[in-house]
A and B are shown apart, each in its own frame.
Chain A
């Protein structure tokens, strides 16, 4: 109960801060939309003559609209803050608080994503009213599963990003590491194209990483591409495994990092 009250207060505070920066929030939202929209534009043109690898124009439209929504709901940015906090000393007063700073970050994520995810959803609904290609089949059961998958994807990306940011306790090149993960993720998570369109060797590499579970899997669940029970089960098992792995990584880096950080400051 105490935790529920704490979180309610933190989310409310984050929501009010975002409200102050309305224009900035809209600009970040636009930034998240343009890249998938450009990919969709190119694939739309390529598939004008006929479906490519089983994807017709409408399939691409639904895929990338789902990418915009899922990406908005699973965005992770905390490493950039953590990197700055560690370098300019702001981490110190956060550590002096009686609460792990990760809770503030989680609350911030909830507030921001409720607002921007809602905006994307409204945008999608409005466009779907006039553009039949972006309508996905009404299937409440599958949507509920997709909601769970999106939540798990957001948690994986968040923990991965947070743990990477905490490496700032040891190195000053965290931003380069983030760039590397972001760049690989463009391909391996299905941002630029559905995974089936990647060369087979790259598909095999993707399957060994957490990237497809953070975007492609929830997207395909939402659009109905991942329809068989085996597909869905495999996706959720993969998500559970990577979630456990990144949670473990976060806990390890956090505990070791604090000891290391204290040793430098002490």
Chain B
């Protein structure tokens, strides 16, 4: 398969993912009540998140230099990326630990499809795409309140940094999930992501010294939401945007390397 030219390999990958998602869609459309339940839950959590920010702003006029509506716009980005996780990552790569434990990974490896691609995107939770839409809507609503609507350049920068943030989050998931090749008893390793991602609810600049160091440099999770939201609120410097894109590319390359190392280690249950 690697003998094929890059263009053909990409076309094949897209065709594979499209076929998987079509089957997935046909299945999910049978459970439309789940959509309403999922929508209610998203709106509930979004409302609580906005109320939390409102509680902070009863005592202050800015959080790390961000106004109330700017923080709400960031919350929209937070919800959008959370939607990416719930719709695309948790149902696919998030099941890797269970696959290794049960031996189902052997069946995947025996398939002619590229395993990392197949494992990552075999299944999506279609209803959670609503989280992405609602997050973007919240950001738009909040931006309208700030009175500074972003221009086309800012929107382009937003989309590029949002995609970069999604790529970084994907890399974090691959890294976390690959732990299972070394330690089998980590069935809740995805909770580690949930715990750390909580920090991305607020602008990175809002955290005091020690926590900022932790979330900005040690586990750079705070950037995933702060950078795209900075693009929307006119804070993003070109250098920061370029760095984010470079970090995303590096993260994807590292992910590929990690995956290959991990899969080479994998000797199945009998090994």
In the complex, B107 has a CB within 8 A of chain A: no
Interface of B (DSSP majority class): helix
CB B64 to nearest CB in A, in angstroms, measures 7
Contact B44 A179 (CB under 8 A): yes
In the complex, A265 has a CB within 8 A of chain B: no
CB B214 to nearest CB in A, in angstroms, measures 9
Q: With the chains together, A43 CA to B41 CA distance in Å? A: 27
Contact with A along B40-72 (1 / 0, CB 8 A): 110011001001100110111001100000000
Q: With the chains together, A20 CA to B185 CA distance in Å? A: 8
In the complex, B187 has a CB within 8 A of chain A: yes
Contact A45 B64 (CB under 8 A): yes
A30, A53, A173, A186: which contacts B192 (Cβ < 8 A)?
Answer: A30
Q: With the chains together, A46 CA to B208 CA distance in Å? A: 10
B41, B58, B198: which contacts A176 (Cβ < 8 A)?
Answer: B41
CB B15 to nearest CB in A, in angstroms, measures 36
* Residues on A with beta carbons closer than 8 Å to the beta carbon of B202: 38, 42
Q: With the chains together, A131 CA to B181 CA distance in Å? A: 38
In the complex, B149 has a CB within 8 A of chain A: no
Q: With the chains together, A43 CA to B53 CA distance in Å? A: 11
In the complex formed, the residue of A with least CB distance to B179 is: A23
Contact with B along A21-37 (1 / 0, CB 8 A): 11110011011011101
* Residues on B with beta carbons closer than 8 Å to the beta carbon of A199: 58
* Residues on B with beta carbons closer than 8 Å to the beta carbon of A192: 52, 55
B63, B186, B199: which contacts A38 (Cβ < 8 A)?
Answer: B199
Contact B183 A34 (CB under 8 A): no
Contact A34 B41 (CB under 8 A): no
Report B199-216 residues with CB < 8 Å from chain A CB. Answer: 199, 201-202, 206-208, 211
CB B91 to nearest CB in A, in angstroms, measures 17
In the complex, A237 has a CB within 8 A of chain B: no
In the complex, B194 has a CB within 8 A of chain A: yes
Chain B: interface size category? 20 to 34
* Residues on B with beta carbons closer than 8 Å to the beta carbon of A173: 37
How many residue pairs between the two chains, A and B, have CB atoms under 8 Å in the bound complex?
88
* Residues on A with beta carbons closer than 8 Å to the beta carbon of B208: 41, 44-45, 48
Contact A27 B55 (CB under 8 A): no
Contact A38 B55 (CB under 8 A): no
In the complex, A183 has a CB within 8 A of chain B: yes
* Residues on B with beta carbons closer than 8 Å to the beta carbon of A30: 191-192, 195
CB B194 to nearest CB in A, in angstroms, measures 7
* Residues on B with beta carbons closer than 8 Å to the beta carbon of A179: 41, 44
* Residues on A with beta carbons closer than 8 Å to the beta carbon of B268: none
Contact A193 B37 (CB under 8 A): no
Contact B211 A37 (CB under 8 A): yes
In the complex, B243 has a CB within 8 A of chain A: no
In the complex, A198 has a CB within 8 A of chain B: yes
In the complex formed, the residue of B with least CB distance to A22 is: B185
Q: With the chains together, A24 CA to B207 CA distance in Å? A: 28
Known: A21-B185, A27-B192. A42 touches B48 (CB 8 A): no
Contact with A along B214-233 (1 / 0, CB 8 A): 00000000000000000000
Contact with B along A172-194 (1 / 0, CB 8 A): 01001001100100110000110
5 A–B contacts, CB within 8 A, in A order: A28-B188, A38-B198, A45-B63, A176-B37, A193-B55
Using CB atoms and an 8 Å cutoff, list the residues of chain B in contact with chain A: 37, 40-41, 44-45, 48, 51-52, 55-56, 58-60, 63-64, 183, 185-189, 191-192, 194-196, 198-199, 201-202, 206-208, 211
Using CB atoms and an 8 Å cutoff, list the residues of chain A in contact with chain B: 20-24, 27-28, 30-31, 33-35, 37-38, 41-48, 52-53, 173, 176, 179-180, 183, 186-187, 192-193, 197-199
A34-B199, A46-B63, A187-B51 are known; give 11 further A-B pairs, CB within 8 A.
Answer: A23-B185, A27-B191, A38-B198, A52-B60, A173-B37, A176-B37, A179-B44, A183-B45, A183-B48, A192-B52, A197-B59
